[in-house]
Amino acid sequence: MKQKILLTALATIGLLGTTVGAEKLRVAYSASPVTVDPYRSSNTPSGSLNSHIYEGLVDRTNENLLGTKFTWESPTRLVVDLRQGVKFHNGADFTSRDVLYSVCRMMYRVNGKNNVITNSLSPVTDVEALGPYKVAFDTGKPYPILIQKLKYLYIMSASLGTDVPQTIVYDKDGNCGIGAYATTAEVESGVAGIGTGPFKLAQFTKNGTTKMVRNDDYWGQKSDWTELEISPVINSGARVAGLLSGDFDVIESPSLEDMQALDKKDGFSYVTTPSWRTIFILMDVGSDQANGVTTPDGKNPFKDIRVRKALSLAINRQAIVDRLLGGKATVAKQFAPEYMPGAETDLPPLPYDPEGAKKLLAEAGYKDGFSMELFVPSDRYPNINRVGQVIAQYWTKVGLSVALKPQPWSVFSKTRKARKLGVWLYGWGHPQGFTQMISFNYPTRNTELNLGSSNYSNYQNAEVDTWMQKWAVEIDTDTADAYGRNAMKVIVEDMAGIPLYYQHSAWAFRSGLAVKGRPDEFTNAKGISKK
């Protein structure tokens, strides 16, 4: 009943219904956004959807948005100048007070639980308004990646809260003297789903079509589209069928076969863009036993570097890219694309040598191989099930017994976090820079420096810890990048995981459109225009 009342109200104020001369853009996502509350999920579909409604101080692609200048006044104090003349969808002016409200809401424990991205700002000790269009972020110790972490701080209006002080005093628990925040339910209903972005939320339905209308008061370049509909369509065949039938104008992640078919059809096209996502294999390299792995000696084989290197040598990465992915990926040499700013560019290719792999396995005591389960998130990354099948075949050819275990992301992610995986295929994007994945995954866990929080491999290396601890407190970008490159070299040499390829993102679309892909894999109407 509440939803019906809300939709009636939205239609009354012009957020639903067809406008005279309306230009509607219909987009099919390849995965379902789970919320339009910007602090409750950090997954790509939700972030992609929310980027139409909300804006951060800085974009994931490093473009300045609501922040116009970022200045380190000291190693522990970042001052941000704010964009002036910006209004929220409800007409409220954007000021530093809204930044304070948003930081506090991000840090506030909803139903006793942290927001999923609360840790991004956990080193921040204070946030202070220095006038209506300037804020300062203070950290107890140097936290040089703060600007990168601010990419996750979408700004919400302080007008959405209850009993919000005119001067908000920050505290790390997110109470901040605020009577009550807009709830996730209010945000998802549309009542509080209000930002400064190029589109206004009209209707959000989990696992269904989300409707938006253009924000005609947007401070930046206005969209060509007066209406936007985003629908999750998980099956690739169903997405391309929807494109061909005219149900959608743009679709995400067409398969290789889809793109080959579109080459033969008039009126349709596609574009691919090298992304910042690496597809790789992780192993439990530190435990005495690895889940799903059975060996004759009862040990964890991945603790032996010879086994890890053998698994890498058994894989023909170039064949995967050329034959399986149709050339629409880049062979990986490390855990972040070398075309990212600051990344190492001189690492040698990872060789393919199945005979060498057999020799190393024999030297490690596994001449007759061992058995393992390879877990794959079946609905997360393009072509990932086929990649898993090929990896299993490569390892079988060098004498291993591999059982492929595809799981939907909802199951896979929980199993991973519970540390119940011994070997798994995975992907990681790098919107925070080329060190993002290795800073989370390979250092020994260090909550003070925000390192190693996703070290499900149980990997430990003192040299890696040294380089990453230096990186974590270095505010000079060039010096920090050098530390990150040093750590990356050690991790690759140690074969703590197995890099495979850098994913290319793809979009298919009808004629008459121009589509510009993004390296962070977001599908945003900003990049879709009429020719």
**The residue count for the chain:** 531
* Through-space distance between the first and last CA atoms of the chain, rounded to whole angstroms: 42
Contacts of 273 by beta carbon, 8 Å cutoff, 6+ apart: 504, 505, 506, 517, 518, 519
| Residue 193 burial class via C-beta count within 10 angstroms: exposed 0-12, middle 13-18, buried 19 and up | buried
> Cα(434)–Cα(528) distance, rounded to whole angstroms?
27
Mean pLDDT by 10 residues, the chain (531 residues): 36 42 88 91 90 96 95 95 98 98 90 74 93 96 89 95 96 93 92 96 92 97 96 94 97 91 93 95 97 96 98 98 94 96 94 98 97 94 93 98 95 94 95 92 90 95 97 91 97 98 96 93 94 87
> Cα(273)–Cα(518) distance, rounded to whole angstroms?
7
pTM of the model: 0.82
Residue ranges of alpha helices (H) inside 377-431 are: 384-397, 409-417
Contacts of 219 by beta carbon, 8 Å cutoff, 6+ apart: 83, 85, 86, 87, 196
- Cα torsion angle, 196, 202, 203, 209, sign: negative
> Cα(493)–Cα(482) distance, rounded to whole angstroms?
17
Q: What is the pLDDT of residue 9?
A: 36
Q: What is the pLDDT of residue 281?
A: 98
Q: What is the pLDDT of residue 219?
A: 97
Q: What is the pLDDT of residue 7?
A: 38
Report residue 471 CA to chain centroid gap.
22
Q: What is the pLDDT of residue 99?
A: 98
CB atoms within 10 A of CB 332: 24
